[in-house]
């Protein structure tokens, strides 16, 4: 009996030793505990800092710009600073995406879709989507006309809302942003007050604030969905996935019923045409997953960027007035177009500065090593999740000097022309997994904010003068609920 007990104790000691032993030449980081790894240290620091990206900055002060962690059973390496961040985002060996129960929950139990697929499957899907979205007008005049139309309607709604009192900014842009994306994807637009779409947009916002981008405990212990479905995020994600899948499937069914191979109308039609060619990767499940990825990745980020922009302009009214004066000089009261961008350097500098400071996607989307990789004298095992802290690049004191000050002029040269330091400014990421919707997002951002400033002065609500410019933590940073006064301008 004693021998048995001793054998069990030795076995347990061995398992604990294996569990807490770090791989050879793994990056420096806090000590690992059995089973939980670094969960407690990260949670404790998160309580202090309030934001995950700030936790990584704090750890970097202690362990250097590359931090080696283990979250439960999962190896996680976080890199800070421009050089390491660029290296991780541009080297092929880091171009994988995390996989597992949590990620597959959205995509029929398979590693499909666009954002979290990898390898040749992902390459084919990305190439197809980029090619056909361009065909449908992405980055061209057709896209511009769509955004202008949406923006015009949005201004009418804001005029009505603002006449009633201060306007809620947090979700103000959700539907108009989704409409431009959905026009290209599914050939459809929705009324800006559409209840179902507003509900879906709220669910997306909720899931982005509550869900751990690297999968969290649910990814490692799928059984948690039975034990603590609310706590581990399972209920929220499955409600979101069911509702969006239903919404997208309805659209796809309508397309199938009215499909004409000779005149595809939008991305869904183009995909259905490809499905008819019996290509293995072009399945109905993939079509739903692709649409879901575009819906989520495209709406949340752009809408949050626009809401943050309005908050910053309310906080810095002198900057707002300067932008309005440039817009008066260059455009007068005519509708802004993308060709005007070049003649509005100050306006563009402000838009860049807002993106630099608001950091809507502070660590982008997690990557994964596809083999054992050597990075700056460290060895990172195959399958390690990689987080590239874009926030650390945008807040780098050595480069920006005063990163915590809101100073749009840093994006202007001595002649007052726009000069973007591309190496240090990467809100859309870099490398072959960089954001796919950059052109659409930038066009929306420019056209909506310039039109808004032509139509309104934005001011703080005297009843609630403290603005929270840091937003709420999550997969993306999102503005907290804030009401502002929009007073109509008459040009």
Rounded Cα–Cα distance for residues 474 and 300 (Å): 12
User: Residue from 29, 298, 471, 474 that binds ligand HEM (CB under 6 A)?
Assistant: 298
Rounded Cα–Cα distance for residues 199 and 208 (Å): 14
Q: How far is the CB of 435 from ligand HEM (least distance, A)?
A: 3
Q: How many residues line the site for ligand HEM (CB under 6 A)?
A: 26
User: Residue from 64, 364, 471, 479 that binds ligand HEM (CB under 6 A)?
Assistant: 364
Rounded Cα–Cα distance for residues 139 and 143 (Å): 6
User: Residue from 427, 471, 474, 479 that binds ligand HEM (CB under 6 A)?
Assistant: 427
User: Residue from 428, 446, 456, 475 that binds ligand HEM (CB under 6 A)?
Assistant: 428
Q: Cβ closer to ligand HEM: 125 or 454? A: 125
| Residues in contact with 465: Cβ distance below 8 Å, sequence separation at least 6, in sequence order | none
Give whole-number Cα distances, 215 to 146, 208, 241, 366, 475, in Å. Answer: 36, 12, 15, 10, 11
Binding mask 322-361 for ligand HEM (x = CB under 6 A): --------------------------------------xx
Is residue 479 at the binding interface for ligand HEM, with CB under 6 A as the rule? no
Is residue 264 at the binding interface for ligand HEM, with CB under 6 A as the rule? no
Residue 57 and residue 389 in contact, taking contact as beta carbons nearer than 8 Å = yes
Is residue 297 at the binding interface for ligand HEM, with CB under 6 A as the rule? yes
The four Cα atoms 478, 482, 488, 491 give a dihedral, to 10 degrees, of: -40
User: Residue from 57, 294, 331, 453 that binds ligand HEM (CB under 6 A)?
Assistant: 294
Q: Cβ closer to ligand HEM: 294 or 331? A: 294
Q: How far is the CB of 446 from ligand HEM (least distance, A)?
A: 11
Q: How far is the CB of 427 from ligand HEM (least distance, A)?
A: 5
CB burial of residue 300 (10 Å; 0-12, 13-18, 19+): buried
Is residue 440 at the binding interface for ligand HEM, with CB under 6 A as the rule? yes
Q: How far is the CB of 434 from ligand HEM (least distance, A)?
A: 5
Is residue 126 at the binding interface for ligand HEM, with CB under 6 A as the rule? yes
Rounded Cα–Cα distance for residues 199 and 193 (Å): 10
Binding mask 90-119 for ligand HEM (x = CB under 6 A): ------------------------xx----
Residue 327 and residue 333 in contact, taking contact as beta carbons nearer than 8 Å = no
Give 157-195 as a DSSP string: HHHHHHHHS-EE-TTTTHHHHHHHHHHHHHS----TT-H
* Phi, psi (degrees; rounded to nearest 5) at 459: -135, 155
Q: How far is the CB of 355 from ligand HEM (least distance, A)?
A: 7
Is residue 89 at the binding interface for ligand HEM, with CB under 6 A as the rule? yes
Binding mask 153-182 for ligand HEM (x = CB under 6 A): ----------------------------x-
Rounded Cα–Cα distance for residues 300 and 437 (Å): 12
User: Residue from 441, 443, 447, 448 that binds ligand HEM (CB under 6 A)?
Assistant: 441
Is residue 293 at the binding interface for ligand HEM, with CB under 6 A as the rule? yes
Q: Which stretch binds ligand HEM (CB under 6 A): 203-211, 221-229, 397-405, 437-445?
A: 437-445
Sheet of 167-168, strand order: 167-168, 483-488, 456-460
Q: How far is the CB of 375 from ligand HEM (least distance, A)?
A: 16
CB atoms within 10 A of CB 351: 24
Rounded Cα–Cα distance for residues 178 and 299 (Å): 6
CA gyration radius, the chain: 24
| Residues in contact with 127: Cβ distance below 8 Å, sequence separation at least 6, in sequence order | none
Q: How far is the CB of 443 from ligand HEM (least distance, A)?
A: 9
Residue number with the shortest CB distance to ligand HEM?
437
Q: Using CB under 6 A as the criterion, which residues of the chain lie in contact with ligand HEM when the complex forms?
A: 89, 114-115, 126, 181, 293-294, 297-298, 301-302, 305, 360-361, 364-365, 427-429, 433-437, 440-441
């Amino acid at each position: 009996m004693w021998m048995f007990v001793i054998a069990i104790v030795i076995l347990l000691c061995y398992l604990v030793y294996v569990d807490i032993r770090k791989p050879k030449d793994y990056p420096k980081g806090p000590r690992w505990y059995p089973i939980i790894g670094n969960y407690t240290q990260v949670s404790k620091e998160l309580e202090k800092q309030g934001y995950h990206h700030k936790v990584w900055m704090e750890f970097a002060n202690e362990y250097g710009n590359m931090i080696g962690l283990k979250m439960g059973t999962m190896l996680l390496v976080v890199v800070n600073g421009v050089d390491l961040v660029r290296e991780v985002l541009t080297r092929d060996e880091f171009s994988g995406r995390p996989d597992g129960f949590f990620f597959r929950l959205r995509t029929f139990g398979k590693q499909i879709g666009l954002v979290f697929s990898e390898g040749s499957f992902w390459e084919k899907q990305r190439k197809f989507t980029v090619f056909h979205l361009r065909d449908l007008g992405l980055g061209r005049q057709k896209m511009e006309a769509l955004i202008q139309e949406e923006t015009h309607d949005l201004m009418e709604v804001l005029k009505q809302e603002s006449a009633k009192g201060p306007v809620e900014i947090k979700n103000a842009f959700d539907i108009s942003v989704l409409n431009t994306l959905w026009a290209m994807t599914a050939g459809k637009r929705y009324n800006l007050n559409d209840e179902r779409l507003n509900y879906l947009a709220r669910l997306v916002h909720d899931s982005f604030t509550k869900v751990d981008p690297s999968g969290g405990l649910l990814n490692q212990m799928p059984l948690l969905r039975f034990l603590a479905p609310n706590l581990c995020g399972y209920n929220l994600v499955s409600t979101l996935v069911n509702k969006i899948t239903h919404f997208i499937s309805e659209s796809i069914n309508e397309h199938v019923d009215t499909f004409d191979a000779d005149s595809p109308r939008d991305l869904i039609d183009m995909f259905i045409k490809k499905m008819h060619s019996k290509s293995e990767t072009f399945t109905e499940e993939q079509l739903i997953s692709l649409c879901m990825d575009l819906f989520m990745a495209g709406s949340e980020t752009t809408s949050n960027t626009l809401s943050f922009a309005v908050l910053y302009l309310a906080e810095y009214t002198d900057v707002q007035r300067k932008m309005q004066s440039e817009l008066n000089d260059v455009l007068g009261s005519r509708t802004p177009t993308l060709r005007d961008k070049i003649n509005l350097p100050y306006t563009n500098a402000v838009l860049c500065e807002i993106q630099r400071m608001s950091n809507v996607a502070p660590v982008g989307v997690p990557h994964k090593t596809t083999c054992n990789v050597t990075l700056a004298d460290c060895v990172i095992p195959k399958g390690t999740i990689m987080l590239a802290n874009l926030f650390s690049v945008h807040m780098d004191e050595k480069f920006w000097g005063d990163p915590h000050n809101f100073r749009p002029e840093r994006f202007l040269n001595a002649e007052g022309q726009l000069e973007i330091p591309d190496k240090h400014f990467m809100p859309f990421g870099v490398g072959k997994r960089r954001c796919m919707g950059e052109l659409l997002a930038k066009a929306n951002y420019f056209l909506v904010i310039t039109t808004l400033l032509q139509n309104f002065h934005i001011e703080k609500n005297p009843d609630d003068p403290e603005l929270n410019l840091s937003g709420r933590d999550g997969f993306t940073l999102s503005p907290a609920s804030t009401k502002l006064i929009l007073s109509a301008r008459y040009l």
